[in-house]
Structure 1
Amino acid sequence: MNQKGLPLPAPSKFRTRIGRAFIVVAGLFALGAIAYLAVSVARDINQLGSAHSDNVQWTLSQTNVEFLEYKLRVEHPEPDITELRQKFDVFYSRMNTVRRASVFEGLRNTPEASARLVTIFTLLDASVPIIDSSDDELQRRLPALVALSDQLRPEVRALANSGLKVFALAADAQRSRVANTMTKLAAATTALVAVLAWAILQLNLLNRRIYRRERERNQTAKRMETVMGTSLDGVIVSDAEGRITQFNPAAEQIFGHRAGDVLGKDIGAVIVPDHMRDAHDAGMERIRRHGEKRVVGKGRVKLEAKRKDGTIFPVELAIQSATTHQGEIFIAFLRDITAQVAAEAELVSARDRALANEKLKTDFLSTMSHEIRTPLNGLLGNMSLLRDTALNPEQAKYLGHMETSGRLLMSHISDVLDITRYDAGKLNTRSEPVNISALVQDIVDNQTGAAFQHETSLEWRWRGPRYDWILSDHDRLQHVMMNIIGNAVKFTRRGHVAVRLEALEAAADPRLRIEIEDDGPGISDDMRIRIFDDFVTGNTSYDRDVGGTGLGLSIAKRFITALGGQIGVESDLGKGCTFWIELPLIEATPAPEEATAQTQPDMQRALNILLVEDNEINRIVAREMLQQEGHSVTEAYDGKQGADLAKLYRFDLILMDISMPVMDGRAATRRIRNEGGASASAPIIAVTANAMADEQAEFLKDGMDGILTKPVSREALKALLHSKADTDEDDLAYINAQHSQEARDTLGQDAFAKLTARFVSEVELLIDWLNDDKPKDLLEIASKAHAVAGSAGIFGAVQLRETLKQLENAAKTGDKSEIADLSKRVNIVWLKTKPLMQK
């Protein structure tokens, strides 16, 4: 760290450490070698000194001298017996020293000296009895003693010469070893001097490197000080105990403290709000004891901080730690985000207002759809009933005009709702096999009459390979093509309209391109830019030749975008225009042809129908239509009255309006399903003017079986009644009759009946368990639903099995809201499944 407490950048120490280690090892090795050689030299010198003190060679020479003196006494004509014995003892002692002393061990180890010693001591041992005899006996045996001494003389001389030779060689070897050791010592000393010289050089280089790095660190420290001093973010450095060691100018401005006043103080007391102090202190203690860091090194976090005046404000904080020679330090980077938080709050508020406005718009459109469609339902319904009466030609003509206007009004309402659904992200599309050639042919056939009136030719063709069947949304695509081809015919007089289809296969993403070209009046450049905007008609004057709301092309663009395609237009004013569409080209297999139902009116079963509708005109129209089809109708004026009637009487079908006083249709449906009355399992069809897809999905969750959108046409009502009259067709949604019959045939009638009764009991126990208010374990819900779903599969109760599987999955994922909805749905499905199982 520098003088202000800032951490310095850590230099690269690898090479420095390697150099230092090498110097130390080399020096230790050289010192060890010198020490070892010095010890060896000292040992050799000591050995030389010992050899000199013992005077080995002198002893061998003296032995020879002592023998000669002894021999002179023996050969004397009149020897002194006492002196003779003394000289013999001295010589014998000398020889015994040679035989036993350690200094003569090297001599004794030579074969020659060893043999001579054996001979010498054999002769001496033979002389001892003579020497030790009495004087007279010694005097008498002197000739024998002389003979023995003669035999000793060459052996003693030879032994002395061998010893001198051996010890001379040993001395030479020892001197050679000493010289060699001294040479090695000199070499080691030279090496040590070289190592020390190299070490001095390396230390000098290392010192320069350290100096350079120190200078670089100082420069880096200065740069960091400059950066911190000019940083717009507050930077606060503290030690492991939480004491502030650095407080930059930005931090002074943010918190209102002077750096000199807070250095050395606890950071928690300076900037941490009172309500967060305990958590801060606990975190610091946790770091000191266990090293656990929850905020340090975790990136940016948003917290609250405290200014000098005690005000609390939001900050964006990032903390990092570093290790210095003084211990661990913590560097905090802080930014005052008061303005940012205020801006975000404003954005959130604006978003909430926008969402509220969007919901308000959706609710408004839903309400207006209901309010417009309800009287329109009465208007078109009455016109449908009126057409069944006797009309003169003029009345029939007026009635046709009224029906046309009503359908046009309904088309405009549907356009507005389509725009709303798309903008809200709720416009759904389907992917199904579409015969694009047949679709275009139908539209061309439909527009041929209008083209003929305008004296305009209309044709279509494929350009290149033909692809009849593709995957797309038939209804959306038909709407778009009808609009664009219709516009081309509508705006072209005495001209030509051509529709061309082409498969663009060269690209990695194959596309289907559709071009609608006409030679009409064309579109100006400024209008071409806005042609797909809402409410753009191309001619806003009151005397324009053609009408329209200006929503057709904007809806077409939304539909094509939803289908994953693009739409555009190319035009020269006065020369016509070409609209083009590009869609994903995905080939499809032809859809199987559906057999045309040949349902005869007289074969339809009469139904007992409950009609729940608060609008009297709509009630009258629906009643008349139903009664004309031969069905009996019971009327209810609100949802509560309808639910009461459904509880008391068994109805084959319930037509339920949604928006009603006292109790709406959704609440009435839930009550009918949950109370288990006479019509609890009867089909309930929502009759609503609300065409919003998300709300229609909610109707089905409430237990309704279908939706009939207002205004109700005679054709739609007939289709509904025919489908409900055929009970077998309705049963297929809940019971797979073939599967159930196979189980019956396999088990036998009696066993099947017993198992059915047992299954009914299992399902009702499960439903009772799901409906009680006791808390339930999610795994237990999944287990019970799984078990009963398996049994439902055996009896062919397909809808019940599917609902139970959904309940099982919801329990496994912990979706409590979905569990509650599916628990109610199980009850509804069972009310419809149970009677069918008992057939």
Structure 2
Amino acid sequence: MSATRSKAVHRLRLPILGTLFAVAGFAVLSWFIYTEALQELETLKFAKTDNVEWSMSQSEVDYLRFLEALSITPETATAQELAEIRLRFDLFFSRIDLFEQGALFAAFQDDAKLGPLLNTIEGRLDAMVEPVDGPDVGLILALPNIQQSALSMRSDVRELALEGVAFFARQSDQDRNQSAGTLTHLVYLTGAMLFVMAVLSFGLFYFNRQTHRQSTKVAQANSRLQGILETSLDGVIVTKNTGEILTLNPAAEQMFGHLAEDVRGVPVGDLIVPDHLRQAHRAGMARMLEGGERRVIGQGRVQLEACRQDGSIFPVEMALSAVNEDQDEVFVAFLRDMSQAHADEKELIKARDQALAGEKAKTDFLAVMSHEIRTPLNGILGTLQLMTREPLTQAQQKMLRNMDISGQLLLRHVNAVLDIVSAEAGTVSVREDVLNPGVLIQKIVDALGGAAAERGNVIEWSWNGSEKDWVLTDAHKLEQILLNLVGNAIKFTRDGRIAIGAAIEATADGSETLNLSVCDTGIGISQDHLPNVFDDFQTFDASLDRATPGSGLGLGIARRFAEALGGSISVSSTLGKGSQFDVSLPVKRVVAPVIVDKNPNRQAILSPKMNILVVDDNQINLDVMAAMLKHEGHGVTCSTSGLDAVQQAMAKRFDVILMDISMPGMDGVTATAHIRQGGGESSDVPVLAVSANVLPDDTRSYLEAGLSGVLGKPLTFEALQNALLAANGSSAPLAHSNDLLDQRQLDQMRKTLDKTALKTLFTRMMADADKLIVDLGPDADLPATAVLAHNVAGSAAMFGAQKFRLHLNDIEKLCLSDERDAFVRALPALGVCWRDSRAALETWHSKVI
């Protein structure tokens, strides 16, 4: 009943509030119009046209004074008279220029009559500027023409002054009319407001009568409310503020097993509160009666336990509210039996735990399997690298090359699985690198150019719009995205074209995005398969998969990396015509970094010969690593267990320790801790982890445990050499041979590519280098030259032109450091080096093609 009464009062308040809002609205509107009227009246006090009209009249005065100054004889003109002419000309010219440029005169500048007059006068004055501002001799010679021209303006100046005054008089009339209109609007608004006030007053009288009719409706509402309570599925218990039950609805009777007439007046705590909670319930009731804190009333739904008539305890959800009724406070409790909900929740938790356990098992399985695969791969690929450094027949070299291709393919699949595991585990970390997108794309084009040529494809890239330089983003992830997309395009295209586009564009919020597109003319993707193209292990067609083998993980990894960088990736394709992948990544534009060569004599650095302890429980891996190190001239001591490694490190001083991580008994992390803490001969030497477990969490745990670095299996000569140089405090060495060409690299190119692909790449490299040499000059754009030098250096390195590459590296460094003088001095040596390198390359090419 109280709630219904409240609704009636609410209905009465609505028209009152509406009236108040209407009055307030009219008051605000009236104020605005009143203010505008005052402004109009204030404007009328000061007629700006007085100023304007005076200026228009004064222009004729200035003209006449100018004519008066001109009325001299040129032959007898004195310097003072010429000065007077210049003064009067400047005053008259300034007046006319004021009419042309001044804001007060903007209104008549477009007038059909005044505008041409003003232009005519100004044109004649402009013709006088040069002699007037020139030397006295020139002014004296020009005086007859100036006098004639000035006299010809008499009628125009007169007409301009008269018409201008008339024009601004008309403007004044219009302003006064506008002010009158504003005052008229104010009068109309006042009348409208009085009318609306009268209507609202009548409305208030009407709604006041309606209030008397609400009493009947209150009774009807109470009846409906009772019906709602009777049919509610939630139990409803109404009690006094002292806790005695007033009534129960049928749902509460069924829930607790009590009839309403049997429990009326019974304390609710003795009826439905379990024994172990009754003391707390009574304390809470006493606190509320004394005016203390109400911890349950009005706090929404709370989870509690309740007791049925048979003594069984079950969970309930209760919402308790206080209602004033006839100046007394009563409590209304809405209760819901949560027994089934809790049972369902337990089932959901159980299902969730099972799902999480399944995901963890899958992740653990993939990680373990990748480790178990990488470990034997270390032995296989390491042995293959060792074999490539031995004299072999051509047939053996071909078989070895095929084995290496298969091994590298398997390694890429394993790495793809590791990327998926990292992404699903939420351990994909993003770092910020300063990079040049053009350099990165060119590097990928150079790296995949041979694969594209083998399939008869042309691969190219370009900037969409103006060329951009340096940005801040994760270089590794961006490179991986492009490698996967371009690799896919090559794999599904034959005798076609792969085009890479790049652009850096500003967004609406002022940030910038790097937009990349990879287009191919390959087989395309059907519309049915497009929605799933970025899912893992998607290859869509088994026969196609056999023709173009792959794990189906590349696009999934590209999607994850793009999202990790805050960007997006999408695809559009037409079956039989080709596909286009678009990547959009947020980036920050930065200035080109200054490359400082901290070791100017780096070409003289040779790989230092070290005494190395190699630890691995797998004998094959141990033998391979030992052979690779011995091949480079290092001293090697082998150990097959963590305990033996600790003992040897305690007794002997080594330069570096290569420590396997997963070993039975004492693992590599524990062995490293013992070496560090044992105080032996090698307690402070670098310890490099050698492991197939190279997930980010694993790598971080190794470094936190005290290891100096991490080498992932399978090992390569380059990775091993760089790690040893880093442990020794050196940078990776560049080629230091005085030979023009690296014969070993040329042999590798000849073995890797067929003659057609080799010829295509060779021709392109030679053309790029020739163009670079021709374009270079003292006035070259240094940032652009740095990019070109970098690109050609990559191509030169691919064809073993090591001396030319070193010169190009120096050129790139000088350009990036903005050292133009040194750059110019280096150009002759670069040209000579390319001339000699070109002749040597042509000789080699003629022999192998």
Partner of 2:406: 405
Question: Does 2:327 align with 1:336?
Answer: no
One-letter code aligned to 1:663: M
What CA distance in whole angstroms lies between the structure 2 residues aligned with 1:208 and 1:529?
Answer: 65
Contact 1:604 1:725 (8 Å CA) reproduced: no
CA-to-partner distance for each residue in 1:447-490, whole Å, 9 max, x for gaps? 33344444433322222232232222222222222232233333
Partner of 1:709: 712
Partner of 2:667: 664
Q: How does 1:248-287 map to 2 (within 5 A)?
A: 248-287=249-288
CA-to-partner distance for each residue in 1:347-382, whole Å, 9 max, x for gaps? 222222222122212211221122111111111222
Q: Shift of residue 710 of structure 1?
A: 1.0
Question: Does 2:586 align with 1:584?
Answer: yes
Q: Shift of residue 326 of structure 1?
A: 6.1
One-letter code aligned to 2:349: V
Contact 2:367 2:421 (8 Å CA) reproduced: no
Which ranges of structure 2 fall in alignment gaps of 5 or more residues? 14-205, 733-849
Partner of 2:526: 524
* Secondary structure in 2 matching 1:715: helix
What CA distance in whole angstroms lies between the structure 1 residues aligned with 2:336 and 2:483?
Answer: 59
Question: Does 2:702 align with 1:699?
Answer: yes
Q: Shift of residue 415 of structure 1?
A: 0.7
Q: How does 1:188-203 map to 2 (within 5 A)?
A: none
Contact 1:433 1:589 (8 Å CA) reproduced: no
What CA distance in whole angstroms lies between the structure 1 residues aligned with 2:545 and 2:583?
Answer: 31
Q: How does 1:155-166 map to 2 (within 5 A)?
A: none
CA-to-partner distance for each residue in 1:386-417, whole Å, 9 max, x for gaps? 33333333323322222222111110100111
Contact 1:527 1:538 (8 Å CA) reproduced: yes
Contact 1:9 1:217 (8 Å CA) reproduced: no
- Equivalent of 2:724 in 716, 721, 726: 721
* Secondary structure in 2 matching 1:487: helix
Partner of 2:310: 309
One-letter code aligned to 1:305: A
Partner of 2:228: 227
What CA distance in whole angstroms lies between the structure 1 residues aligned with 2:456 and 2:568?
Answer: 31
CA-to-partner distance for each residue in 1:504-563, whole Å, 9 max, x for gaps? 436446433322223333322223333222223354117954322222222222222222
One-letter code aligned to 1:581: V
Q: Shift of residue 12 of structure 1?
A: 5.9
Structure 1 residues 226 and 9, CA gap change in structure 2 (3 angstroms): farther
Contact 2:612 2:658 (8 Å CA) reproduced: yes
Between 601-610 and 294-303, report the one with greater CA deviation.
601-610
CA-to-partner distance for each residue in 1:34-93, whole Å, 9 max, x for gaps? xxxxxxxxxxxxxxxxxxxxxxxxxxxxxxxxxxxxxxxxxxxxxxxxxxxxxxxxxxxx
Contact 2:607 2:721 (8 Å CA) reproduced: no
Structure 1 residues 437 and 712, CA gap change in structure 2 (3 angstroms): same
Question: Does 2:624 align with 1:621?
Answer: yes
What CA distance in whole angstroms lies between the structure 1 residues aligned with 2:454 and 2:267?
Answer: 92
Partner of 2:563: 561
* Secondary structure in 2 matching 1:578: strand
Partner of 2:809: none
Partner of 1:572: 574
One-letter code aligned to 2:578: G
* Secondary structure in 1 matching 2:612: strand
Q: Shift of residue 585 of structure 1?
A: 4.3
Partner of 2:40: none
Q: How does 1:228-627 map to 2 (within 5 A)?
A: 228-325=229-326, 327-505=328-506, 507-508=508-509, 510-541=512-543, 545-593=547-595, 595=597, 605-627=608-630
Give the number of aligned pairs.
Answer: 538
Which ranges of structure 1 fall in alignment gaps of 5 or more residues? 17-204, 730-839
Q: Shift of residue 600 of structure 1?
A: 7.0
Q: Shift of residue 259 of structure 1?
A: 1.7
CA-to-partner distance for each residue in 1:709-754, whole Å, 9 max, x for gaps? 111222212111112223999xxxxxxxxxxxxxxxxxxxxxxxxx
Q: Shift of residue 661 of structure 1?
A: 0.9
One-letter code aligned to 1:287: M
Tell me the TM-score normalised to structure 2 length: 0.58
What CA distance in whole angstroms lies between the structure 2 residues aligned with 1:516 and 1:384?
Answer: 34
Contact 1:243 1:265 (8 Å CA) reproduced: yes
Contact 2:4 2:221 (8 Å CA) reproduced: no
What CA distance in whole angstroms lies between the structure 1 residues aligned with 2:300 and 2:675?
Answer: 56
Structure 1 residues 376 and 495, CA gap change in structure 2 (3 angstroms): closer
Contact 2:675 2:682 (8 Å CA) reproduced: yes
Contact 2:669 2:702 (8 Å CA) reproduced: yes
Contact 2:507 2:513 (8 Å CA) reproduced: no
What CA distance in whole angstroms lies between the structure 1 residues aligned with 2:281 and 2:4?
Answer: 23
One-letter code aligned to 2:386: L
CA-to-partner distance for each residue in 1:186-245, whole Å, 9 max, x for gaps? xxxxxxxxxxxxxxxxxxx9x999976654543343232222222222222222322222
* Secondary structure in 2 matching 1:660: coil
One-letter code aligned to 2:523: P
What CA distance in whole angstroms lies between the structure 1 residues aligned with 2:325 and 2:566?
Answer: 59
One-letter code aligned to 1:446: A
Q: How does 1:819-838 map to 2 (within 5 A)?
A: none
Contact 1:608 1:631 (8 Å CA) reproduced: yes
Tell me the TM-score normalised to structure 1 length: 0.59
* Secondary structure in 2 matching 1:526: coil
Partner of 2:29: none
One-letter code aligned to 1:565: G
What CA distance in whole angstroms lies between the structure 2 residues aligned with 1:577 and 1:641?
Answer: 57
What CA distance in whole angstroms lies between the structure 2 residues aligned with 1:220 and 1:543?
Answer: 72
What CA distance in whole angstroms lies between the structure 1 residues aligned with 2:495 and 2:433?
Answer: 38
Contact 1:417 1:692 (8 Å CA) reproduced: yes
Structure 1 residues 704 and 285, CA gap change in structure 2 (3 angstroms): farther
Contact 2:521 2:577 (8 Å CA) reproduced: yes
Between 475-484 and 371-380, report the one with greater CA deviation.
475-484
Q: Shift of residue 680 of structure 1?
A: 4.1
Q: Which has the larger radius of gyration?
A: 1
Q: Shift of residue 611 of structure 1?
A: 2.9
Q: Shift of residue 315 of structure 1?
A: 1.7
One-letter code aligned to 1:381: G
Structure 1 residues 606 and 546, CA gap change in structure 2 (3 angstroms): closer
What CA distance in whole angstroms lies between the structure 2 residues aligned with 1:227 and 1:587?
Answer: 65
Partner of 1:164: none
Structure 1 residues 712 and 459, CA gap change in structure 2 (3 angstroms): closer
* Secondary structure in 1 matching 2:663: coil
What CA distance in whole angstroms lies between the structure 2 residues aligned with 1:690 and 1:629?
Answer: 26
* Secondary structure in 2 matching 1:525: coil
Question: Does 2:670 align with 1:685?
Answer: no
Q: Shift of residue 10 of structure 1?
A: 9.6
Structure 1 residues 635 and 539, CA gap change in structure 2 (3 angstroms): same
Contact 2:493 2:520 (8 Å CA) reproduced: yes
What CA distance in whole angstroms lies between the structure 2 residues aligned with 1:242 and 1:644?
Answer: 79
Structure 1 residues 419 and 441, CA gap change in structure 2 (3 angstroms): same
* Secondary structure in 1 matching 2:441: helix
Q: What RMSD, in angstroms, separates the aligned Cα atoms of the two structures?
A: 3.5
Contact 1:434 1:472 (8 Å CA) reproduced: yes
* Secondary structure in 2 matching 1:225: helix
What CA distance in whole angstroms lies between the structure 2 residues aligned with 1:7 and 1:646?
Answer: 89
Between 213-222 and 574-583, report the one with greater CA deviation.
213-222
Q: Percent identity?
A: 45
